[in-house]
Amino acid sequence: MKLPPNVSQEDFTAALAQFAKVVGQEWVFTSDEDLELYRDSYSVNWGETDERTASAALAPDTAEQVVELVKIANRYRIAIYPISTGKNLGYGGAAPALAGSVVLDLKRMNRIVEIDERNGYVVVEPGVSYFDLYQHIQDKGLKLWIDCPSPGWGSVLGNALDGGVGVTLAPYRSHFDAQCGIEVVLPNGRMMRTGMGAMPGAKTWQQFKPGFGPRIDGLFKQSNYGVVTKMGFWLMPPPENIATGIVTVPNYRDIIALVDTIGRLEQSKIVQGLWTLSSPTLGTRGDAAHEAGPPKPADPAIFAILSDPAGVDMAKLESAASASGTPFWSAEFNLYGPRRLIEAQWDCICEALGKIPGARCKLNPVRPLPLPAEELAGLFDTGPLGIPSLRTFSLGPMVSYDGEDVVGHVFFSPVIPRTGEAAIEAMEVFAAITRKYRLPGPPLQFPSAIFERAFLFAVGLPVTRSATVNAKIRGIIRELVEISTARGWGEYRTAPAFFDLIMGTYSYNDHALRDFLETIKDAVDPNGIMSPGRYAIRSGHSRGGSGYPAGTTDQIQKASMQ
């Protein structure tokens, strides 16, 4: 039996017996077969000594049980690692950040505690998935829409806690920003509610985010300060209609005016739906995580230029595109709401973007929602329609890399300035890495406008079951991080294998941020039992008692290379 770090067999056995008294023996998992399910299927350390595997898993059913489990864990100094649905593929799956932790699997806590159509919110427990919430809304015939990530099996709460994102309207896309009120079991076993929820009997917990005093909700995003047992989320009324509109511009560098102009439209809330950058010339759509298929270049001359092993010559590409009358860029808009609003939005979009020479605008028919079921069945991604699915798993180059079967992806997810210049720089820089390591994917990948004011440049790197190839991928990620950091681009989220590496890049004033987070950690979790190491936050004793073991970015990077 695997043991949690620094815990004796005797203590572990005693603790497991006490855990079982709380949850019932059938909800304590220690067999290899059961623990296999808590491995990260997309681990870049699969089968290696430093793969992060659990020593046991517990599945409580209520917040009260969570309180008791946390107290026991404290008594025995056992590291616990809460997960909601544990489908965090690409960012760590169900595996703990620290090997040997006991996973607290909260899937059984799957109650929709409250849903309010009038005020547009829901309160969920951790085990409620996007599929569950969608189905509940359908069953009850509620006039509400959800914003979901590409995989619908994830937890509404777990996804938000990891900083996850969706694809509908801007105020709902950042799932943590859409939350309103957290109930959390702190590492000492004390239950706390944030915001208005701190007032017993409060009637506005899910209606007023700031609450009274400091707004601390953000402390529970990408951290390890407690087990979140409930969370409220703002939901949107279902839009009456949807329409897609496309604006094309002819030249490569037109992306600068395109991004600036759309940015102004977003800042003034005229553009609220997600827009996608794509290229008719390259045949590629913008958001690799959400869109399907290999590139389909329009023209053989263009294809030849794109296939040049030395890289794409943009000047040649531009003239080939212009000779074939193919615009270089397009921006695809999703527009929602009453017909009058969609048409008015579109007028504003065309008026603003029409100032770019050669721009062309086309609004597709305004479609009443919901779309007919037959039509939904044929769509690749139903996310923009507020409908969860798992179709994202049926695409992607899951074939082979370096002669090894690809079994998944690990995401490298830097945040890039929302300018055309930065987009060009990032595309070219990352394309060079793609070529250098012959990574699968289109010759140029584009940034995504999923965040409101910055670009996300999510790159899925192939994961295999070969330690050698995975080591190479870890090396490529380190190189990407180095390149990005040098340009001032930081990652928004990462898998546990890179927590230290990435946290090491947020090093302003000798790691003041990390030190602050760890000061809080020391105060709320002196025994360091709660998800130690998650997002590189540790309590004193696991830092070696005298500050961080690897004080410089360089050392941290070396540490995470092991």
Partner 1 sequence: MITRRALLGNALVAASTIGPAGAAIAGVLPPGVQTHRAISALLIDRTVRQPRELSALIEVSRRSMPVVDLTLDAVAHNTLQQCLRDSEALVGISSGATLFCLERLAWDHGHRLTVRAEANGTDCSSLRKAAAAFLSGARPAAAPGLSPPGAYAPSRADGVVHVWIIERKSSVPSGQTGAAQWS
Ligand X SMILES: Cc1cc2nc3c(=O)[nH]c(=O)nc-3n(C[C@H](O)[C@H](O)[C@H](O)COP(=O)(O)OP(=O)(O)OC[C@H]3O[C@@H](n4cnc5c(N)ncnc54)[C@H](O)[C@@H]3O)c2cc1C
- Which CB, 131 or 220, lies closer to partner 1? 131
Binding mask 393-422 for partner 1 (x = CB under 8 A): xxxxxxx-----xxxx--------------
Of residues 427 through 486, those in contact with partner 1 by CB under 8 A are 465
Residue 338 DSSP label: S
Does the footprint of partner 1 cover residue 370 (CB under 8 A)?
Answer: no
Backbone angles phi, psi at 143, to 5 degrees: -90, 70
- C-alpha–C-alpha distance, residues 430 and 426, integer Å: 6
Of residues 77 through 96, those in contact with partner 1 by CB under 8 A are 87
Q: How far apart are the first and last CA of the chain?
A: 24
Does the footprint of partner 1 cover residue 65 (CB under 8 A)?
Answer: no
Q: Which does 534 bind (CB under 5 to 8 A by kind): ligand X, partner 1, none?
A: ligand X
- Which CB, 152 or 414, lies closer to partner 1? 152
Structure tokens that stand for 84 in this block: 């909601």
Binding site for ligand X (CB under 6 A): 82-92, 106, 126, 149-151, 154-155, 157-159, 161-162, 164-165, 227-228, 289, 392-393, 531, 534
DSSP secondary structure string for all residues of 19-49: HHHHH-GGGEE-SHHHHGGGS-TT-TTTTST
**Rg, Å, the chain Cα set:** 24
CB under 8 A: which stretch of 33-41, 349-357, 363-371, 411-419 binds partner 1? 33-41
Q: Least distance in Å: CB of 180 to ligand X?
A: 16
DSSP secondary structure string for all residues of 478-512: HHHHHHHHHHT-EES---GGGHHHHHHH--HHHHH
Q: Which does 105 bind (CB under 5 to 8 A by kind): ligand X, partner 1, none?
A: partner 1
The neighbour count for residue 148, using CB atoms within 10 Å, is 30
Q: Which residue is nearest to ligand X (CB)?
A: 154
Does the footprint of partner 1 cover residue 176 (CB under 8 A)?
Answer: no
- Which CB, 109 or 556, lies closer to ligand X? 109
Does the footprint of partner 1 cover residue 128 (CB under 8 A)?
Answer: yes
57, containing H or E segment: strand 56-58
Backbone angles phi, psi at 146, to 5 degrees: -115, 155
Q: Least distance in Å: CB of 150 to ligand X?
A: 4
Please report how many Cα atoms fall inside a 13 Å half-sphere around the Cα of residue 83, on the Cβ side: 26
b/e map of 455-474 (b: 16 or more CB within 10 Å)? bbbbbbbbbbebeebbebbb
Does the footprint of partner 1 cover residue 377 (CB under 8 A)?
Answer: yes
Does the footprint of partner 1 cover residue 153 (CB under 8 A)?
Answer: yes
Q: Binding residues for partner 1, per CB under 8 A?
A: 26-27, 29, 31, 33-34, 37-38, 41, 57, 59, 87, 105, 107-108, 110-113, 127-129, 131-136, 138, 152-153, 373-374, 376-377, 382, 387-391, 393-399, 405-408, 465
